[in-house]
A and B are shown apart, each in its own frame.
Chain A
Amino acid sequence: MTDRIQLGTMEQPQFSPAAMALVQKIIKRYPEGRHKSALLPILHIAQAEFGGWLSPSTMDYVASILNIKPIEVYEVASFYTMYNMRPVGKCVLEVCRTGPCALRGSDDIIEYLENKLGIKEGETTADGMFTLKAVECLASCGSAPMMQVGNHYIENLSVEKMDEVLDQLKTRHNVPNPDYGSPYPVSPENNG
């Protein structure tokens, strides 16, 4: 499952001052000595800041901020599905495949995307633009089928609409630092 990633080839990441200020603010939300609670939120910030995935050096960096063992971060990050343990494309398509979406055609959407992008579920296009993930229920069953891209839910999908949706996403995400989305957006106001 987790095939080994060698350390050493990747540079040590560093949060920007604004991101670091946000991280410190979040740590303070938990009682003294319970700072490990901030792990999930900080991993979200780290993933959004460092290329949409969690490299071992990113996780080691988060461990050092929280003063916990690196294995504690690996254990947690690998448990939750939102954390990408592998590099991803600039735009991650997370298509819901669970019951209610499946009833209204999510299989067709996934199949269409696979054919259109020439990749299988779980893979990234050769140009590094799109990663296709089939995910479980995103609590949007009333607007099925749907998918999540970063901070956005794209709902009431249909095969006919997909080309247009992909074009829009490509325009928005084909930039040097695409927005991978985060529950805790880093903004300049956080600085201080």
Chain B
Amino acid sequence: MGRKLLLKDINVPGIKSFEVYRKMGGYASVEKALKTMTPDSVMEEVKKSGLRGRGGAGFPTGMKWSFLDRKSDKPRYLICNADESEPGTFKDRFLMEYLPHALIEGMIVSSFALGANTSYIYMRGEFRWIFPILEKAIEEARAAGFLGNNMLGTDYSLELYVHSGGGAYICGEETAQIESLEGKRGNPRNKPPFPAVVGLYGCPTVVNNVESIATVPHILNMGGDEYAKIGIGKSTGTKLISASGHINKPGVYEIELGLPVEEFIYSDEYCGGIWKGRKMKACVPGGSSVPILPTELMLKTAKGEPRLMSYESLSDGGFATGSMLGSGGFIVFDETACIVRNTWTYARFYHHESCGQCSPCREGTGWMEKVLHRIETGHGKMSDIDLLVDVAKKIEGNTICPLGDAAAWPVAAAVRHFREEFEYHVRYPEKVKDPKHFEKEPFVSEKKAVAA
């Protein structure tokens, strides 16, 4: 059993309510921070904890906070990024739905650290039923004196609101989210300036993921140094992993970073192995945007070391043989899955979600989708495979926001590791006419057969 922090009380009956949450030790961090600490010392603890952003990029949270322009006389804002839309990721929804006070508590101490007096939780609009849950939690916290003016008798005041998105993946990108919160189209801004200097309403702003914020109270309660002892190396603490795809037990799991991937997939405590007694073919470990890896590279690095669930281990080998922890959206594919078809559905997703502002993403995502669809349905040419790689290359790094990269990486990685499968689609168009081609007859590598 790994260490549990965020989900330690998940099975306590009534944990959604303020009383039970409080009885279990909730809001202790607020009392500690407001009464015994300064904003700077809170930030110091978060820095010491080594907490890295749980939304996907893995940027150290404490460092992000330290970039906030404190010299400006404008108000400062904290926005909680609850726009969880990365395919394969559903941990934030789980957390907010079942542990709403964990997020509220985190928002209060984080806002205190940043000196924000108004903070927003930007939640994707589709989570319609969670809005009343969070609003109720906010009201309960306010009634208990944990929100509002002069909280707990100090001179710190905070208002916290939930704001709804309207259905757009791109609003998970922080500058698009700020635009959207200002009531505009979710078009990402060019950076610099960064939100820490020019953010919401032109004011210094920090945008943090739900899980990052919900982790802060635990860091304050145990101390940053103590938190940093959990996990492995620079991957400190615990992480929520959303497990989905062809596994026996899909769901949200809290793991201690450093857990071997093999254990995570096959242990009954977590995914419980591949469904229907099948073999695993591939895995996307960090949400649809990160590179897909074939089983052998997923379980072991190119150096032959066991792959661990950590920022460093999952990216070991760079994109040539590695991937990323990303948002922790862990999608497993069994031997009947068609990599081309899967890549196409992701390409369709990015095409659908591109905001349309900059040319490489607006035009390139649709192009990749169309070419992939052609290959998948047996109308592709061999040259299309290199074309995909080239288009991905021309998008990557050349767009305003990371959506371009997120669209390009999965395509490039799929071709990198499963080129033979793409070639198979071109070579045997009649065999791939049926969308379920590999369910009837799993793909077998001819190259590997020859080698063996």
CB of B163 within 8 A of chain A? yes
Partner of A151 from B93, B128, B182, B242 at Cβ < 8 Å: B128
- A148 cross-chain contacts in B, Cβ below 8 A: 126
CB of A143 within 8 A of chain B? yes
**CB nearest neighbor in A for B84:** A139
- A77 cross-chain contacts in B, Cβ below 8 A: 166
Smallest CB separation, B68 vs chain A (Å)? 18
Tally of chain B residues near chain A (CB < 8 A): 61
Q: How far is the CA of A39 from the CA of B329 in the complex (A)?
A: 31
Interface positions of B from 239 to 264, Cβ below 8 Å from A = 242-246, 250-252
CB of A142 within 8 A of chain B? yes
Interface positions of A from 70 to 129, Cβ below 8 Å from B = 72, 75-77, 79-83, 97-100, 102-104, 107
- A31 cross-chain contacts in B, Cβ below 8 A: 75, 118, 201
Smallest CB separation, B100 vs chain A (Å)? 14
Interface positions of B from 125 to 174, Cβ below 8 Å from A = 125-129, 131-132, 159, 161, 163-169
Partner of B353 from A29, A37, A136, A185 at Cβ < 8 Å: A136
- Contacts A79-B185, A79-B186, A100-B331: A142 and B251 contacting too (C-beta < 8 A)? yes
Contact A137 B167 (CB under 8 A): no
Interface centre among B163, B246, B331 (most CB of A within 10 A): B163
Contact B331 A136 (CB under 8 A): no
Chain A 27-43, CB-CB to B under 8 Å as 1, else 0, gives 00101001011111101
Contact B182 A37 (CB under 8 A): yes
- A103 cross-chain contacts in B, Cβ below 8 A: 244-246, 331, 333, 337, 342
Contact A37 B181 (CB under 8 A): yes
- Contacts A139-B84, A142-B243, A142-B244: A76 and B183 contacting too (C-beta < 8 A)? yes
Q: Which of B42-50, B309-317, B344-352, B442-450 contacts A (4 or more CB under 8 A)?
A: B344-352
Q: How far is the CA of A76 from the CA of B164 in the complex (A)?
A: 13
- B201 cross-chain contacts in A, Cβ below 8 A: 31, 34
Contact B89 A141 (CB under 8 A): yes
CB of B85 within 8 A of chain A? yes
CB of A182 within 8 A of chain B? yes
- B93 cross-chain contacts in A, Cβ below 8 A: 139-140
Q: How far is the CA of A39 from the CA of B180 in the complex (A)?
A: 9
Smallest CB separation, A86 vs chain B (Å)? 15
